[in-house]
Structure 1
Amino acid sequence: MFPIRAVEKHYAWGSYDRLQNMFHLGPVDGDHLEPLAEMWFSGHAESPSPLTLSDGVEVPLTDAIRRDPMTMLGEHDSQLFGPILPYLFKVISARIPLSLQVHPLDFEARAGFNRENAAGIPKEAPERSFKDTLAKNEMVVALEPFTASVGFAPVPFQLTLLRAVDHPLAGLMAEALTARTFHMGVPPAQFAQADAMMPVSSLIWPDSRRRVFRAFHAAVTAPKVSPDTLGPALEAASQKVRGRKARAAMDNALQAIHAFPGDPSVLCLLMLNPVCLEEGESVFIPAGTPHAYIHGTAAEIMTNSDNVLRAGMTPKHRDIPNLLRSLDCQPNATIDPSSSMIATLIMHNMVTYRPKINEYMLVYGNVSKGGAAWPLLTRLNQRYGDLIDKLGPRRLMIPRRGPRILLCTEGAVQCSTEYQSLTLRQGQAVFIPSEDGRVEITMARRSGMNPEPAQENGSFLLASTPV
């Protein structure tokens, strides 16, 4: 096992205290208060995490893997992914809404990366959209209440909310959702510009998907509107709508318009599914899915990519043409990767999150004195009770091979392999190479080298490639 340090990412939407406290970063100078948005445990070439080797020398994780991929990754992952960590693991905290964004599809990421390289755009340039050649499929697990907007909601839901907003742009978006194309290649005249920006795949889209694209396009390409009109229109609409889901979508839009006054792309949040996660609940976001995180702290794991295409709600570069080429316009329910696996580890005070991709899985767990029940699991048990009854208890061990990153999120935990045992306290993490084999995570013990009293309990996150 090797201690690993997170790479700090300071963005305007970050928290002033949540990550600072979790990672014990010390007092912050009040005169130079800088929001901290993300902590990366990273094998990404642009921001690799420092790894402390056995001799005390600190090296980038990328270098350590390149030097000995078989030891660090194992034979299976080395052959499948090459000498790179296939996932990027983060803890994020949003104080205000993030940008409205989409992650590019794999072929769009490759093409965009090569185009920008050919154009001579430096990788660190603010106008650069493609940092690597990979699609980014990501998953979020809430560490506290976490809100977001993810994927297009059913069209009737979109229409109900947009028609409640007394604003010309909302009216145009509602019109786009209902204006039919009666002849292939001849769109309604007012939406011809939108159709010209549709990807080639739109040739086989049903007309309903074209209408969703046009409504989204209307908002993200509109000029800035008067804050004196859109904000009050959303406030008034929020008093009209009924139903928990509709109110949650309106709340997301209201938080966004307060953070970004006059930004018309805020209206896109009324087209998306509102997501309200409690601790331990999760959502999976495939490449191409429009989304925006609104508020809260969460673990985030994704394919090893830093590609982001932004459409609004940000001071950063917006790349609307490339975003629209990857946009998935199919209305769908959000994807919860824990739901099919929740029974697996519930009896072991661990929850496994494993979407149907090869690059990663995540375990959220708790250890406590006497094996006391974790309150989180009582609530998840209630949510997934029918599924648990259907599947029955099953056992899935923490992965015995592959590259693993263990982070203590609360209290302290003891991490042991056949070679070594370490105590991790809140905010500390280790990289566990494939060669270390089986890992056991237990309550922290007191020892001569560790004179502090043993913690009664601890919580952890374990990122890995799938079992």
Structure 2
Amino acid sequence: MTTFHPSGVQHALYPLQAPIKDYAWGSKTLLPKLTGAPASKTPQAEMWFGTHPTTPTLLADGTALAELVDLPYLVKLLAAAQPLSIQAHPTREHAEAGFAAENAASIELADPRRTYRDPNHKPEMLIALSDFTAMAGFRDPKVTAKTFDQLVQLVDNAELASLLKTMADRLRAGELKEVFAQLVDPHGPFWRPDGFTAEIFAAVQCSTTTNEHLVNALQAAKIHPDDPGALVALLMNLITLSPGEALFVPSGTIHAYVAGLGLEVMATSDNVIRGGLTVKHVDVAELGKVVDFTPGAPPIITPSVRTIDDVTVTRFTPPVKDFALTRYDLPAGTSLTVTATTPRIAVGTSGTGALTSGRDSAVISPGAGIYIPGDVHSLDLRAGDEDVTIFLASRP
């Protein structure tokens, strides 16, 4: 629910100051290139627009956005230069139970061992702003078995070859969950330093394979040696999105973004259960509880597209009640008036334009965010001398 600014003055538009996360997998160039800032000396992974308590977005006067509203969704600009962790997000039921259990165990929210940082689920959707590579969901294990057959031929170690052959046979039999558990077992042979995982990828490195799954996994293994998360990647769908295409990741879907610039919208949560390819806390036991092991096609979402007064309006509506997203592509010199009766977050991704609502007006440019409380005022989107792209996140 929207409340008044602590000053007692209510505005129709609030420009935002988005905090930037400097995770190791972030890019030093993608976000600066988007916003027009100089290249960064450190990774810039995410810009957050929302009210999650761990990373508050601020208004121009320094007031936390959360003092005005408790949004059910969180918007991010994500810039990946290397793979994120193999991960999944919990259902609401799993999150409530896990959050309560860690509170009862007196694990502080800032403790790196913490898995559940809030009691909410975290379905999410990513729209590619550049060519974007991701892994999401499990591919057909019978197809994956052929990749493991190839590994059998590449390695010289007879014990390892026999183990990989057994895993290939289990995949052909549909035992995906069992093979996954075998790979990530913290007491198993694939986590050992200079062990089977390193040996497998040394063989892949020396080969001439063009198998896209092996090539992708090898790149991850170079960043995270001895981490069987790179082998888990072989079980997953490998997806390449073109700019404008969207990926929906429901709760329980295993995934890892690999490279590229995208805009994300998700339920307001920071619950990430990791299984590898990270220096952060890994909890493979909990991951096994929340992951959906049903194989299937990549979870691409198809938007609806229409043209209104020369403006292209693209509506992304995933099957959740927490959020929806609308993209407005305005040619130079055009404008469009929309209704905004509920709270929204606007983020610009291309060109410089303006938003006007009531007596308030604000410039929007790439990387800029604006909070729109939603009231009786209409919202005017306007492009100046160049084409403009604006995303509006809201409840469905």
Q: TM-score, normalised by structure 1?
A: 0.74
Q: Deviations over 1:324-344 (max 9, x none)?
A: 1101000111222234x2457
Q: Is the 8 A contact 2:354 2:363 kept in 1?
A: yes
Query: Structure 2 matches for 1:80-229, cutoff 5 A?
Result: 84-166=70-152, 167=155, 168=160, 170-178=164-172, 208=174, 211-221=175-185, 222-224=190-192, 225=195, 229=199
Quote how far apart the aligned CAs of 1:240 are: 6.0
Looking at structure 2, the residues matched to 100 and 411 of structure 1 have their Cα atoms a distance apart, in angstroms, of 34
In structure 2, the residue matched to 1:186 is none
Aligned-pair Cα RMSD in Å: 2.4
Could you tell me which of 398, 401, 412 is aligned with 2:352? 412
Q: Is the 8 A contact 1:338 1:351 kept in 2?
A: no
2:14 aligned with 1:2, yes or no?
Answer: yes
In structure 1, the residue matched to 2:261 is 297
Quote how far apart the aligned CAs of 1:232 are: 3.2
Looking at structure 1, the residues matched to 309 and 202 of structure 2 have their Cα atoms a distance apart, in angstroms, of 46
Report the CA distance shift for 1:284/1:346 in structure 2 as closer, same or farther (over 3 A). farther
Report the CA distance shift for 1:399/1:47 in structure 2 as closer, same or farther (over 3 A). farther
Quote how far apart the aligned CAs of 1:281 are: 0.3
Could you tell me which of 43, 62, 65 is aligned with 2:66? 62
Could you tell me which of 389, 392, 395 is aligned with 1:462? 392
Unpaired runs of 5+ residues, structure 1, are 66-83, 180-207, 242-246, 373-395, 445-454
Report the CA distance shift for 1:145/1:329 in structure 2 as closer, same or farther (over 3 A). same
Quote how far apart the aligned CAs of 1:6 are: 0.8
2:59 aligned with 1:51, yes or no?
Answer: yes
Q: Deviations over 1:198-222 (max 9, x none)?
A: xxxxxxxxxx4xx111111111123
In structure 2, the residue matched to 1:428 is 368
Q: Is the 8 A contact 2:115 2:271 kept in 1?
A: yes
Q: Is the 8 A contact 1:344 1:352 kept in 2?
A: no
In structure 1, the residue matched to 2:317 is 354
Instruction: State the one-letter code of the partner of 2:124.
Output: E
Instruction: State the one-letter code of the partner of 1:366.
Output: D
Quote how far apart the aligned CAs of 1:112 are: 0.7
Could you tell me which of 221, 234, 247 is aligned with 1:283? 247
Report the CA distance shift for 1:216/1:60 in structure 2 as closer, same or farther (over 3 A). same
Instruction: State the one-letter code of the partner of 1:465.
Output: R
What secondary structure, in the 3-state scheme, does the structure 2 residue paired with 1:439 have? strand
What secondary structure, in the 3-state scheme, does the structure 2 residue paired with 1:369 have? coil
Q: Percent identity of the aligned residues? A: 32
Report the CA distance shift for 1:439/1:171 in structure 2 as closer, same or farther (over 3 A). farther
Quote how far apart the aligned CAs of 1:43 are: 0.8
Quote how far apart the aligned CAs of 1:36 are: 0.9
Instruction: State the one-letter code of the partner of 1:146.
Output: F
Looking at structure 2, the residues matched to 345 and 127 of structure 1 have their Cα atoms a distance apart, in angstroms, of 50
Looking at structure 1, the residues matched to 319 and 309 of structure 2 have their Cα atoms a distance apart, in angstroms, of 20
2:289 aligned with 1:312, yes or no?
Answer: no
What secondary structure, in the 3-state scheme, does the structure 1 residue paired with 2:27 have? coil
In structure 2, the residue matched to 1:76 is none
Q: Deviations over 1:263-309 (max 9, x none)?
A: 22211111111110000001100010111111111001110000000
What secondary structure, in the 3-state scheme, does the structure 2 residue paired with 1:104 have? coil
Report the CA distance shift for 1:146/1:170 in structure 2 as closer, same or farther (over 3 A). farther
Could you tell me which of 201, 213, 223 is aligned with 1:231? 201
Q: Does 408-417 or 9-18 show the bigger shift?
A: 408-417
2:327 aligned with 1:364, yes or no?
Answer: yes
Quote how far apart the aligned CAs of 1:355 are: 0.3
Aligned length: 370
What secondary structure, in the 3-state scheme, does the structure 2 residue paired with 1:123 have? coil
In structure 2, the residue matched to 1:14 is 26
Unpaired runs of 5+ residues, structure 2, are 1-12
Report the CA distance shift for 1:352/1:219 in structure 2 as closer, same or farther (over 3 A). same
Q: Is the 8 A contact 1:238 1:250 kept in 2?
A: no
Quote how far apart the aligned CAs of 1:237 are: 6.8
Quote how far apart the aligned CAs of 1:158 are: 1.3
Quote how far apart the aligned CAs of 1:103 are: 0.6
Quote how far apart the aligned CAs of 1:433 are: 0.5
Q: Is the 8 A contact 1:15 1:35 kept in 2?
A: yes
Quote how far apart the aligned CAs of 1:177 are: 1.9
Report the CA distance shift for 1:292/1:27 in structure 2 as closer, same or farther (over 3 A). closer
Q: TM-score, normalised by structure 2?
A: 0.87
Instruction: State the one-letter code of the partner of 2:177.
Output: F
Per residue, is there more strand in 1 or in 2? Answer: 2
Looking at structure 1, the residues matched to 148 and 39 of structure 2 have their Cα atoms a distance apart, in angstroms, of 45
Q: Is the 8 A contact 1:164 1:240 kept in 2?
A: no
Looking at structure 2, the residues matched to 220 and 406 of structure 1 have their Cα atoms a distance apart, in angstroms, of 40
Quote how far apart the aligned CAs of 1:178 are: 4.0
Per residue, is there more helix in 1 or in 2? Answer: 1
Looking at structure 1, the residues matched to 130 and 170 of structure 2 have their Cα atoms a distance apart, in angstroms, of 37
Report the CA distance shift for 1:348/1:325 in structure 2 as closer, same or farther (over 3 A). same
In structure 2, the residue matched to 1:202 is none
Q: Is the 8 A contact 1:112 1:130 kept in 2?
A: yes
Q: Is the 8 A contact 1:303 1:359 kept in 2?
A: yes
Q: Deviations over 1:120-140 (max 9, x none)?
A: 111011110000001110001
Report the CA distance shift for 1:170/1:437 in structure 2 as closer, same or farther (over 3 A). farther
Looking at structure 1, the residues matched to 46 and 219 of structure 2 have their Cα atoms a distance apart, in angstroms, of 20
Looking at structure 1, the residues matched to 73 and 24 of structure 2 have their Cα atoms a distance apart, in angstroms, of 25
